[in-house]
Amino acid sequence: MERLDKILSNYGGLTRSDAKQALKAGRVKVNGAVIKDPAVKAAETDEVTLDGKQLVLSKYRYFMLNKPAGYISSTEPEPGDMSPNVISLFKNEGVKGLFPVGRLDKDTTGLLIVTNDGEIGHRLTAPGKHVDKTYVAKVKGELNDSAVEAFAAGFEFKEFTSAPAVLEIIETGLDSDGGECAVAKVTIHEGKFHQVKRMFQKVGCEVAELKRISMGALNLDETLKPGEYRELKPEELKNIMP
């Protein structure tokens, strides 16, 4: 049980004094009833709303973000790169300590889990805890059955050999310059630096666009536009808990 002014500042992103004002103004309800006293306590199981929006009374928060292109997910950006960080998209949540689980390149879009639960972040990305990740890639160059076989056989890189990956060619064609191009789905087992781009390079293709669509049992909610996010549903969270 926590006091309502504390709940509003911890989970509603308000300062303590804004929380008191909000209560006084009748903007806060507990289980449907307007409460104005900041000292009233509520439990995690209570429904606390601020301006009609329910607050999530949990210390740990788990979000699914459809990462937009142009945002960095690394905490150590390239020197001189002033691009915004994905965490800036969560500024209205008022949650401290959010970080992305794993990384996507600046130009990669799609599924990124963002949380303040260091334990789950660590467990999902720790070496040896490989979660399959599926991407849709638009590539320049020719993709054919020998590429499918090469992905399945694995590639030798400087620092590792890739585990068998599943490449599914969805479409092939010609781009506006008359060059070969293709759309493919690829599922990889590790998550090394630029891994998908490097795998396509091995078969003579260049990735023009890359989007992550799933991580383990978690699929990107396609109703989320780039830059939008939502809380993970309890069953989604259960499915990704290592």
Residues labelled as active-site residues: 105
Residues 121-150 that bind ligand URA (CB under 6 A): none
Residues 120, 216: Cα–Cα separation, whole Å: 14
Binding of ligand URA by 104 (CB under 6 A):
yes
Q: Judged by CB under 6 A, which of 56, 194, 208, 224 binds ligand URA?
A: 194
Tokens 């549903």 -> residue: 233
Length of the chain counted residue by residue: 242
CA distance 108 to 117: 24
Binding residues for ligand URA, total number by CB under 6 A? 8
Question: Which CB, 29 or 138, lies closer to ligand URA?
Answer: 138
Q: Which of 9, 115, 134, 195 binds ligand URA (CB under 6 A)?
A: 195
Torsions phi, psi for 82 (to 5 deg): -95, 15
Interacting residues of 117 by C-beta distance below 8 A, sequence separation 6+:
60, 61, 62
Residues between 200 and 229 that touch ligand URA (CB under 6 A): 210
Select the residue interacting with ligand URA from 2, 18, 46, 105 (CB under 6 A).
Answer: 105
Encoding tokens for residue 43?
């439990």
Residues at the interface with ligand URA (CB under 6 A): 104-105, 108, 194-197, 210
